[in-house]
């Protein structure tokens, strides 16, 4: 068997003929063989956008309340270990390798995808560490996603928009049906968006879940310096704004507090813990503004809803010089929709290719932008690093550089900056 985490991950990529194969039958069989039966509360979070933020806020608040929290999220940015956190610490290589080995021995001839293997490993780590609560982020959809093999004590769907149409359908209602598949009979199902598709209500009714909707069963009111939460059981006043930046983070924070409201008997949380968690929460690459000049903003926005959120956030910032977009996307995303959302905020598009099977070439992405008749100038580059180098050369001190379009885009920028990417003309370094 592989001996290092890197070797295991390389091996897992070869196990299954498809990168994604939705369905729970294979997962359920291996879960049963491993005896993975958590005896702690499980929270499952789905949604097109915002689910990572809600997971991070729940993790921060519950940790501040003194609970040992297991959190499983995806994808990772730089290291696989980011996906599995216990007590806000990443799982180490040795325990992940031990979990992978146990799964490999148990699965026999059952084929598992990379994500399925990782989901089982995460839960095995949580059980081994005897966590007080586990937070699971849905990878894709919900109904047939690997995390849904575990029953939840509370679920939340942050919102629904068009994405992953090859797997989930090409309408909000079809996608909402898949996301509602995580709801559980007799348990609270939180929906964190006032614009609720009918399939969410239908899904809750069919399974017998108790549906809480933002703007009805729970809500918030924001002031200039603080905000208040109102839920079915609790009112929490004079809360600090979450440390995660962006105009839509109050929706996510309110959704997280509704989940805690639903679980108050099992996981009581003080006001002090809520305040501390909101202030201390962090989540890289979600409107992450790096220090220094020119300003660099990292955002994994890769669908129109996320791009409109990014556009709102850019508009809410103090006036700046030009906005330069380091832009690369996967070919199964709504590239035109993302371009439309950001068009009026981008002065210069620095378009790059992504060298993965689903990656769009710079030439293809340029064609999309020209078809949309974006107002900004367009330059193409063979890869993200070259686009970033040009951005660093081109940007004045009061300009801002926004890296967006994919996790791959942001990861390439983060790695390049860690190695001190230099602008091709003036010798500035990305970390200088």
Locus of tokens 């710079």? 362
CB 241 within 8 A of CB 227: yes
Tell me what the mean pLDDT of segment 389-399 comes to: 96
Predicted local distance difference test score (pLDDT) of residue 97: 98
CB-side neighbour CA atoms (13 Å) of 209: 28
Quick: pLDDT tens for 341-391.
Answer: 999 999 999 999 999 888 999 999 999 999 999 999 999 999 999 999 999
Same domain, 274 and 389: no
Same domain, 219 and 341: no
Confirm whether 423 is domain-assigned.
Answer: no
Predicted local distance difference test score (pLDDT) of residue 429: 28
Quick: pLDDT tens for 106-121.
Answer: 999 999 999 999 999 9
Could you tell me which residues come within 8 angstroms of residue 144 by beta carbon, excluding any fewer than 6 positions away?
22, 23, 24, 178, 181
Confirm whether 189 is domain-assigned.
Answer: yes
pLDDT bracket for residue 425 (50, 70, 90): very low
Per the rule left: phi > 0, alpha: psi between -120 and 50, beta: everything else, 373 is left
Quick: pLDDT tens for 224-269.
Answer: 899 999 999 989 999 999 999 887 899 999 999 999 999 999 999 9
Predicted local distance difference test score (pLDDT) of residue 421: 66
Predicted local distance difference test score (pLDDT) of residue 387: 98
Confirm whether 427 is domain-assigned.
Answer: no
CB 184 within 8 A of CB 150: no
Quick: pLDDT tens for 70-79.
Answer: 999 999 999 9
Confirm whether 431 is domain-assigned.
Answer: no
Predicted local distance difference test score (pLDDT) of residue 191: 98
Quick: pLDDT tens for 11-36.
Answer: 999 987 777 777 899 999 999 999 99
Same domain, 348 and 373: yes
Tell me what the mean pLDDT of segment 201-216 comes to: 97
What percent of the chain is predicted at pLDDT more than 70?
A: 96
Same domain, 167 and 69: yes
Confirm whether 237 is domain-assigned.
Answer: yes
Closest-CA residue to 46 (of 185, 171, 145, 174)? 145
Predicted local distance difference test score (pLDDT) of residue 319: 80
Same domain, 123 and 23: yes
Final residue of a structural domain among 239, 263, 280: 280
pLDDT bracket for residue 46 (50, 70, 90): very high
Final residue of a structural domain among 280, 309, 338: 280
Same domain, 255 and 339: no
Q: How far apart are CA 46 and CA 182, in angstroms?
A: 8
Q: How far apart are CA 47 and CA 180, in angstroms?
A: 9
Whole-Å CA distances, 80 to 76, 89, 100, 289: 6, 13, 13, 23
pLDDT bracket for residue 423 (50, 70, 90): low
Final residue of a structural domain among 228, 255, 280: 280
Helix (H) or strand (E) holding 403: strand 400-404
Confirm whether 428 is domain-assigned.
Answer: no
Residue 129: CATH number of its domain: 3.40.1190.10
pLDDT over threshold 50, residue 432: no
Locus of tokens 């950001």? 342
Which of the two residues, 431 and 142, has the higher pLDDT score?
A: 142
CB 186 within 8 A of CB 177: no
Mean pLDDT value across the chain: 93
Tell me what the mean pLDDT of segment 326-331 comes to: 96
Same domain, 212 and 302: no
Confirm whether 425 is domain-assigned.
Answer: no
Same domain, 388 and 372: yes
Q: Determine what percent of the chain falls in helix, strand and coil, rounding each to the nearest 5.
A: 40, 20, 40
Q: How far apart are CA 346 and CA 418, in angstroms?
A: 25
Strands (E), 166-272: 188-191, 210-213, 219-222, 227-230, 235-239
Same domain, 238 and 368: no
Confirm whether 430 is domain-assigned.
Answer: no
The domain tally of the chain equals 2
Q: Taking CA 225 as the corner, what is the angle to CA 219 and CA 228, rounded to the nearest 5 degrees?
A: 20
Residue 364: CATH number of its domain: 3.90.190.20
pLDDT over threshold 70, residue 281: yes
Show the domain range for 249.
5-280
This prediction has a pTM of 0.93
Which of the two residues, 3 and 168, has the higher pLDDT score?
A: 3
- Gyration radius from the chain CA atoms: 21
Same domain, 232 and 257: yes
Same domain, 64 and 29: yes
| Six token digits for residue 172 | 């909000």
Same domain, 265 and 328: no
Closest-CA residue to 256 (of 353, 90, 160, 135)? 135
């Amino acid at each position: 068997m592989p001996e290092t985490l890197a070797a295991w991950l390389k091996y897992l990529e070869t196990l299954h003929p498809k990168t994604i194969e939705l369905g729970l039958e294979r997962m359920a069989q291996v879960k049963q063989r491993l005896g993975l039966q958590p005896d702690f509360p499980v929270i499952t979070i789905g949604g097109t956008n915002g689910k990572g933020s809600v997971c991070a806020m729940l993790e921060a608040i519950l940790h501040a309340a003194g609970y040992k929290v297991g959190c499983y999220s995806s994808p990772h940015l730089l290291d696989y270990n980011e996906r599995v956190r216990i007590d806000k610490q990443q799982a180490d290589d040795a325990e992940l390798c031990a979990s992978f080995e146990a799964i490999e021995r148990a699965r026999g001839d059952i084929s598992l995808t990379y994500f399925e293997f990782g989901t089982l490993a995460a839960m095995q780590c949580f059980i081994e560490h005897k966590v007080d609560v586990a937070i699971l982020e849905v990878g894709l959809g919900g109904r047939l996603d690997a995390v849904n093999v575990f029953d939840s004590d509370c679920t939340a769907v942050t919102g629904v928009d068009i994405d992953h149409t090859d797997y989930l359908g090409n309408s909000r209602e079809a996608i909402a049906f898949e996301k509602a598949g995580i709801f559980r009979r007799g348990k609270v199902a939180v929906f964190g968006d006032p614009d609720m598709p009918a399939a969410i209500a239908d899904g809750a009714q069919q399974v017998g879940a108790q549906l809480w909707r933002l703007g009805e069963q729970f809500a918030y009111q924001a002031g200039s310096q603080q905000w208040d939460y109102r839920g079915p059981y609790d009112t929490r006043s004079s809360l600090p704004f979450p440390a995660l930046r962006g105009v839509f983070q109050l929706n996510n924070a309110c959704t997280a507090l509704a989940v805690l409201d639903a679980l108050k008997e099992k996981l009581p949380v003080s006001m002090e813990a809520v305040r501390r968690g909101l202030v201390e929460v962090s989540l890289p690459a979600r409107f992450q503004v790096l220090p220094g000049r020119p300003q660099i903003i990292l955002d994994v926005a890769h669908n129109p809803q996320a791009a409109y959120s990014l556009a709102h956030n850019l508009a809410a910032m103090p006036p700046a010089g030009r906005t330069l977009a380091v832009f690369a996307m996967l070919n199964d995303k709504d590239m035109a929709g993302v371009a439309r959302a950001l068009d009026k905020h981008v002065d210069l598009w620095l378009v790059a290719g992504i060298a993965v099977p689903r990656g769009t070439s710079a030439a293809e992405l340029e064609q999309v932008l020209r078809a949309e008749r974006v107002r900004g100038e367009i330059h193409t580059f063979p890869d993200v690093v070259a686009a970033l180098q040009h951005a660093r050369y081109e940007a004045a001190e009061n300009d801002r550089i926004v890296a967006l379009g994919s996790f791959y885009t942001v990861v390439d920028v983060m790695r390049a900056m860690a190695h001190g990417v230099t602008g091709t003309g003036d010798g500035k370094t990305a970390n200088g």
